[in-house]
Amino acid sequence: MKIELNGDDLKPLIQAVANEVVATMQADAERIGEKLAYTEQEAARLLSMQSYQLRDERRDGRIQASVGRGGRILYSKGDLLAYLRTRRWSRDG
């Protein structure tokens, strides 16, 4: 079986995927806000989890973080968005 597609056939699909990606990124950005960095407690609250759960995610390498003054763990907006992108839900599991 051979399927032949040209650029015009794929354009609507590519546009739909691009629109979904942009909408997801905008929704994530609105949810997180505009601070430069968040404490572990603030970040956990934004992600709807407890601080100890976020700490465990960090220790297990599933989310990146930075170290601020006094050894305080801080999460950038980018850290939180990257974590959310890796945790997308799908019906297929």
Supply the CATH classification number for the domain 35-87.
1.10.1660.10
| The token pair that represents 58 in the structure block | 């960090």
**Domain chopping of the chain, boundaries:** 35-87
Residue 29 reports pLDDT greater than 80? no
Q: Which residues contact 50 (CB under 8 A, 6 or more apart)?
A: 44
Bridge partners of 74, per DSSP, are 39, 66
Q: Tens digit of pLDDT for each residue in 35-88? A: 889 999 999 999 999 999 999 999 999 999 999 999 999 999 899 999 999 998
pTM: 0.64
Alpha-carbon torsion angle 43, 83, 22, 4, nearest 10:
-170
Q: According to the model, what pLDDT value does residue 60 have?
A: 98
Would you state the pLDDT for residue 32?
66
